[in-house]
Structure 1
């Protein structure tokens, strides 16, 4: 096999050889892109897992702050103390946490934040309750405020378990069912 015979073979089949080389390069490119996409997906999954762990690490502190707020709010209604300041850091943490936790827990956290917003609105509005024209009595009773606070505590204490197996949640639930 001489140089001339190799040259003649390449000259005769150069289109096929060029096509096979292009096909090989294209396959190698597709493999490299697939490998990069897999790497990006793994990195994304790791980032999500870290954010979820961070959210779960911040949640107990936020729930403790919410619990302290709820107790202070209940105490302010019972012994007529100054209204507590809203737990802004806890709310921010819980709202941020919703994005990174599982759907069921995110829904429960959303409900907790929603219950807080309703309870806080009622608590802040309880200094000047609206009067009914017919009965001339307050339409916002301390019991309804305590009931709202009780529901918030029930939501908070049963956040980790959706059933009422938590004794605190069961105690509040039974107390709130009474008229």
Structure 2
């Protein structure tokens, strides 16, 4: 049951709920809807995408990994950490995610691949920024990873990919050109 349904929280406008606000942002980025006279209506392309589960998931993944700005709700000063290199993170999880590993394992490899990003924030803040944006706010909500630790947004947490990850994400070597 959603908190919205339980009556625990009153939602007077869409910005009162991150889930509602995120949904609106994503369906607009996916071009499933258009806004006319302050009313959202489904586009022809949106009808086509919504009718095809595989296309819907692919479109959503591309938007979440490549276009959605993951720093939208946080106070970290870096706009790039977690927004750059989403495919690299998926590659790391494909390669190492079958075993539980600390989020710092992935953070270390991420910043080795993108060293200029590590200059954006102090080291411990950069680790938290990447981990929260990538694991807590993206991959966990998509069901692609499981997180074990002291709880949501824990300082140190174990990451392991789910069966769903392997069903949805495939990594293939580039073709020779």
TM superposition score category, shorter chain reference = under 0.3
Structure that is richer in helix per residue: 1
Q: Which protein has the bigger strand share?
A: 2
TM-score normalised over the length of structure 1: 0.26
Q: Which has the larger radius of gyration?
A: 1
Q: TM-score, normalised by structure 2?
A: 0.26
